[in-house]
Each structure stands twice: as C-alpha cells, then as structure tokens.
Amino acid sequence: MQKVLSILVENTSGVLSHVSGLFSRRGYNIDSFSAGVTADPRFTRMTIVTSGDELILDQIEKQLSKLEDVVDIKVLSPSESVTRELMLVKIQAKDTDRQSVLSITEIFHGKVVDVTKDSMVIEVTGHQDKLASFLDMLGDYKILELARTGLTGLTRGLLDVVMIDEDGKRISL
C-alpha cells in the first residue's frame, strides 16, 4: 500500500535531515521524495511517497506531525489531488530513428530537449502511469540514462489550504 504525503515545513537548515532521519530511524521506506520552496519563502513543501501496511502508514503520518518543523501534513488521495512527475530520458537514436521517436514523444506531449548525432534527451511530465507507458513505447530503443524527479502534487480546491501569517498563526480562507 502507498500513501502520498504533502508536508509543509519551515524552511530552515536541517529540516530535510529531521524528516529523513525519522524515516531511517524507524525503518520506514521512501519510494519518492521531492521538495521545494513555496510562494512564501519561509516554507518548503515536501512530497513524500511512502509504502507499508495501513498501520505503518498511519504511524508515519503521526510521527511526522510531531516534528517541530512540520507545519501541515496532507494526504494526496488520487480523487482529491493533482500529482505529476518529471522524467528525462536519454536514448540512443540515429538519424533514421529520430522521426519515430518524435512521433512517440508527441503522443505523450513530451519535448525533445537535446539532440546529438547519436542520442536524444526527452522530457515528459505527467502522472506516473503516463511515464511508465512512455517508457514502454520506447522499448525498441536503448535507454542510455534516465532521471526522475519524484512525485509532487497539491490538493484540489480551497478547503484545506493552509496560510500562515507573519506571527505564525494559521489563516482561514
């Protein structure tokens, strides 16, 4: 079983260490991790995909909420959130292969970001199923390198948006 957590944390040095330390100390698994500063530079949003049974996933959520740097935790359920991942794929492609690779890339709304005489780098963004299908379609080509950002996401609508004023108090929308 997997759970996608969107965690709003204070943007301080050591916060990544605190969060990852919790996972390593307790033997929890991180399937995917991404983080970046929010519109408010005081905060960073981390998106963590973790797996385990229901008891372990609930325990992870409870333990994270106890960390001093954690401001808010949301579970990103598929029906109530939007999630995406970025993938860069470098494939071996000669002149004769390029047109068919371009056709596959267009189907998946990808973008060719680099071309050399013997390779192409393609950028694809979307749901993890879409990225898996894209890789499947590239099965006839040699993949030289692959990089994925990990899942990131937000909940839909305004109901659970957390805003913090300058005094550190929550503001309702």
Question: In this structure, are 67 and 111 located in the same domain?
Answer: no
Q: What CATH number does the domain containing 125 carry?
A: 3.30.70.1150
Question: In this structure, are 67 and 127 located in the same domain?
Answer: no
Range of 132's domain? 82-152
Beta bridge partners of 115: 120
Sequence-ordered strand ranges (E) for the chain: 2-10, 29-37, 43-51, 70-75, 81-92, 111-115, 119-126, 143-148, 152-155, 163-164, 170-171
How far, in Å, are 11, 27, 30, 96 from residue 50 at the CA level?
Answer: 22, 11, 5, 42
Question: In this structure, are 65 and 89 located in the same domain?
Answer: no
What predicted TM-score, i.e. pTM, was given to this entire model? 0.85
Question: In this structure, are 62 and 93 located in the same domain?
Answer: no
Question: In this structure, are 119 and 89 located in the same domain?
Answer: yes
Question: In this structure, are 95 and 49 located in the same domain?
Answer: no
Say if 158 falls within a structural domain: no
pLDDT in tens, 1-50: 999 999 999 999 999 999 999 999 999 999 999 999 999 999 999 999 99
Say if 138 falls within a structural domain: yes
Paired sense of beta strands 70-75 and 143-148, if any: unpaired
Tokens at residue 140, please?
């006839």
CA–CA distance, 143 with 120 (Å, rounded to integer): 10
pLDDT in tens, 91-140: 999 999 999 999 999 999 999 999 999 999 999 999 999 999 999 999 99
**Number of other CB atoms surrounding residue 101 within 10 Å:** 21
Total domains present in the chain: 2
